[in-house]
Chain A
Amino acid sequence: MKHVIEIKMGCLEIITNETEELKTFVGSCVAICLFDLVSHVAGMAHVMLPRKSDGKQSAIKNDIGKYADEALSYMICDMIQKGADPKRIKAKMAGGATIFAHESETGLFNVGPRNVISLKQILKENNIPLVSEDTGENFGRWVRFDLNSGTMIITSNLKKFEKII
């Protein structure tokens, strides 16, 4: 039986124990996982927004996963400290939905797609390959990441599916 660690909104966790599993729920937010399966180090962040506007480091460790740029920077450093090889780190992500539709296309409520674009850009800047993703659409997703297999399991209560990426 895996010990499940639930990642709250705007938070992140790094694990090194294969008996642990990371889990979160995302709608327009994105669950981004970085992992090095050789060193058995993985992290998951629940990213809410694309960039931190003031550039200042968050004082509260609790919401270090809130902004895409800050979350990835923190995860990469912490994973390397815990033994990950930067050349082996890969990424998977899910979420970034546009939950609210509106009749006129004004660009409002599109934080989900903006989160996805921002994360892809930051991954590229850090030479981290995005090996798979399940993003976009208009529904919420439960996301689990298993360090042992490197699989991300995505379920939607609304659409009634389970997907492994």
Chain B
Amino acid sequence: MSTNYNDLQKLNSVLDSFIVHKTIPALGTMLGEIIMHSIKKTHEMSITNLDLIISDLEEMNVMSAVYIKCDGDLHMGALLYLPENESKTLASKLLGRTILNELEGITPSSISEIGNILTASIINAISDNTGYKIYSSVPGYAVEFFRTLLEAVVSDFGNESGALIVSHVEFHGLKSGIMVHMLLIQNPSEVKLMI
């Protein structure tokens, strides 16, 4: 592994600051409630050790997920996910009405929009602080087990080194109890650009 502990700690702090100043206000406004967050861990891992970040809970639950890829002066992958049944609650909250049909097309669109806004808040914060130009892809939506989502994201991100920097962020709506997870993925070679 090429990234030392101090650099990972610094990256953690930088991301935390961006999330506090940009992402939390954006999500709070969308959901109309106070949002708490925590970055559970920022670490470097080999792509052959993905099992390390797949919890039993995530192995058993089908997730709704949105993936956005960011390119430009800095490369980043953002995977937003939450259990599928909770995604309907989240979509209902955004739309102001109950989602009755799980196949209703509006659910993927509204979850994708949340992914879009959260990712944009982070890349805007990075751009504001560093001057880097970063472009984000259209959001990709999926309903699958976490293992499948992670495999697809890592494959798509496809860096040469075989290692990734992964930050796991949790957002928690205090009133609704909704828990949204976000994985931020970066190349180890680009950590220094952020800190």
A108 to B70, CA, bound (A): 12
Chain A contacts for B171, CB-based, 8 A: none
**Which chain B residue has the least Cβ–Cβ distance from A26?**
B151
Query: Could you list 19 further interchain pairs (A-B, Cβ under 8 angstroms) beyond the known A100-B156, A108-B138?
Result: A8-B48, A9-B47, A9-B151, A10-B47, A27-B148, A27-B151, A28-B155, A29-B151, A60-B162, A63-B47, A99-B148, A100-B65, A101-B140, A102-B138, A104-B138, A106-B138, A111-B156, A112-B155, A138-B144
The answer to whether B142 touches A101 (Cβ under 8 A) is yes
The answer to whether A109 touches B140 (Cβ under 8 A) is yes
The answer to whether A48 touches B155 (Cβ under 8 A) is yes
A160 to B139, CA, bound (A): 27
The answer to whether A158 touches B62 (Cβ under 8 A) is yes
**Which chain A residues numbered 91 to 132 have a C-beta less than 8 Å away from chain B?**
97, 99-104, 106, 108-109, 111-112
Interface bits B64-102 vs A (CB < 8 Å: 1, else 0)? 010101000000000000000000000000000000000
Chain A contacts for B50, CB-based, 8 A: 8-9
- Listed by A's residue number, 23 A-B pairs whose Cβ atoms lie within 8 Å are A27-B144, A27-B147, A27-B152, A28-B151, A28-B156, A48-B47, A48-B154, A53-B160, A99-B151, A100-B65, A100-B156, A101-B108, A102-B138, A102-B139, A102-B141, A108-B69, A108-B138, A111-B156, A111-B158, A139-B144, A140-B148, A157-B145, A158-B62
**Which chain B residue has the least Cβ–Cβ distance from A29?**
B155
A124 to B154, CA, bound (A): 28
Indicate which residue in A11, A97, A102 contacts B140 across the interface (CB closer than 8 Å). Answer: A102
Chain B contacts for A66, CB-based, 8 A: 162
A139 to B152, CA, bound (A): 10
Any A CB within 8 A of the CB of B15 = no
**Which chain A residues numbered 121 to 153 have a C-beta less than 8 Å away from chain B?**
138-140
**Which chain A residues numbered 48 to 80 have a C-beta less than 8 Å away from chain B?**
48-49, 53-54, 60, 62-63, 66
Chain A contacts for B137, CB-based, 8 A: 106, 108-109
**Which chain A residue has the least Cβ–Cβ distance from B149?**
A99
Known interface pairs A8-B48, A28-B152; A140-B147 also in contact (CB < 8 Å): yes
